[in-house]
Structure 1
Amino acid sequence: MSDPGQLGQRLLARQLDEQISAAFDADQRLRVLDVGLGRGVQALRLARAGHAVTGLQSDPDLRELFEKDLAEEPEETRGRVRLVAGGSEDTGAHFLPGAFDVVLCHGGLLQARDPGTTLAGLARVLDAGGLLSLLIRNDMALAMHPGRAGDWDAALAALDFPERTGSALRLETLTRGLAGIGTPLRQWYGVGIFGRQCPAEEEKAERMLTVEEHAGRLDPYRSVAAMLHICGVRGG
């Protein structure tokens, strides 16, 4: 699963809030599905904000970790969260069409046997006007980060990775796929352009976030990010 780390999670929070503000009324209480939620950083954040959140997770160990984190939340927040056992390909088995306003899949497509079918399943459970948020590894820039770190063997191996694998999760492939399932791309961002970890000092961390957030909207910087945050709108 993609691991955006602390920096990536903070960037995702800002980007998600921007997209949610653009798609919904400020006081609307949203139905959120987090597919492959991992530790549930965004799920808990959105539940604290008043939204009803369903987490879909196949790994029992990760479900247990999430449940421990959830147990530390106030009762009001806990009451807004539901956890379901299942993977990214199981949305049709658990949820009705149009059941959610926001669907997050921040890494689940990487594990899917058939990303196209999985993507269609994610869109199917979105209501009209709903937001689909995807986080994928940026296979076209895999050599950037080991190269910066001086790991030349890893950088060399990464250079031809997309050609060897024929990745179905490239931006242009997903853009076509989203259009084909009635959830066209609205915005995409780079996540992790200059680094993956926030400095310990909060003032420096905030400056780094400001730079990353700005660069994550701009070409060519966002094209060499470690991950891509891709947002589509159902019926939009």
Structure 2
Amino acid sequence: MYPTRPRSALRTAVVWEVVRAALEKRAAELEQPVLDVVDTGGGTGNFAVPVARLGHRVTVVDPSPDALFALERRAAEAGVTDLVRAVQGDTQTLPEVIAPGTVDAVLCHGVLEVVDDPAEALGSLAGTLRTGGVVSLLAANRNGAVLARALAGHFTEARAVLSAADGRWGEQDPMPRRFTGEELSRLAAGAGLRVESVHGVRIFSDLVPGVLVDTEPGALDALLKLEEAAAAQPAFHAVATQLHLLATLA
């Protein structure tokens, strides 16, 4: 089951399948069915609630009280209130709410783009993990943004993304920061993490006109299968909107 409705599953299906399989593998390694998972920046529970439905304990750390309120409502509707804990905070306050070395898996989706210091943030996340713990890291891809701006006819902005240190096209860019796969891998290594796999996310779905997906019979399912088939192939990583790294604490 995907953690979102079918149309938006195009944006989350690849990540969800990787996360689900990683949690299943980790539980088998530890010979325990219930893992302790932290979802930093997890907001309304798009991933936290499905993870809880697998039977795991999930702590969502997010700075938005409104998002956490929505999370609690979603958890109640899913019948997993006892497995989901909402904590207001961020990566800087994480050491205050999560004891070091007590977590089996961390979800860090869309966080490194907005924090002041990505290396420090990832280090804080890694510090909560037990040895062998898993990190699911999802971040905006610089190279994918270059292609998207160019296809939209914004060639100057595309060139700016390509050369700017933060991967932005200017002050009007709503994304605070973007990364290449190499940059994300270096950040992971700096935090003591070993990268196990890299997947491209939203390779085609952000480029295909929505009308084709919504009106052509079977198009949504076919596009979803195409995304899943291409996600693990390095040749497509450069054009993906996001990059997903799965890493473990050595």
Would you call these one fold, judging by a TM-score over 0.5? yes
Amino acid at match of 2:227: E
Corresponding residue for residue 158 of structure 1:
158
Q: How does 1:10-21 map to 2 (within 5 A)?
A: 10-21=13-24
Q: Is 58-67 or 183-192 further displaced after alignment?
A: 58-67
Give the alignment partner of residue 198 of structure 2, picking from 188, 208, 211: 188
Give the alignment partner of residue 133 of structure 2, picking from 130, 133, 136: 130
C-alpha RMSD of the superposition:
2.3
Corresponding residue for residue 226 of structure 2:
211
Are the aligned partners of 1:142 and 1:159 in contact in 2 as well (CA < 8 Å)? no
Q: Does 1:33 align with 2:43?
A: no
Identity between Structure 1 and Structure 2 (%) = 28
Amino acid at match of 2:83: R
Amino acid at match of 1:34: D
Amino acid at match of 2:153: W
Amino acid at match of 1:152: G
**Displacement of 1:202:** 8.5
User: Size of the alignment, in residue pairs?
Assistant: 227
Q: Is 179-188 or 17-26 further displaced after alignment?
A: 17-26
Corresponding residue for residue 9 of structure 1:
12
Q: How does 1:1-236 map to 2 (within 5 A)?
A: 5-25=8-28, 28-74=33-79, 77-148=80-151, 151-153=152-154, 155-167=155-167, 169-196=179-206, 199-200=213-214, 203-235=218-250
Amino acid at match of 2:204: F
**Displacement of 1:33:** 0.3
Q: Is 171-180 or 30-39 further displaced after alignment?
A: 171-180
Q: Is 191-200 or 221-230 further displaced after alignment?
A: 191-200
Q: Is there any run of 5+ residues in structure 2 with no aligned partner, and where?
A: 1-7, 168-177
Q: Distance in 1 between matches of 2:156 and 2:9?
A: 27
**Displacement of 1:203:** 4.1
Amino acid at match of 1:212: E
Are the aligned partners of 1:57 and 1:84 in contact in 2 as well (CA < 8 Å)? yes
Q: Distance in 1 between matches of 2:142 and 2:191?
A: 23
Q: Distance in 2 between matches of 1:203 and 1:27?
A: 39
Inter-CA distance 159–122: structure 2 relative to 1 (3 Å threshold): same
Q: Distance in 2 between matches of 1:57 and 1:202?
A: 39
Are the aligned partners of 2:14 and 2:231 in contact in 1 as well (CA < 8 Å)? no
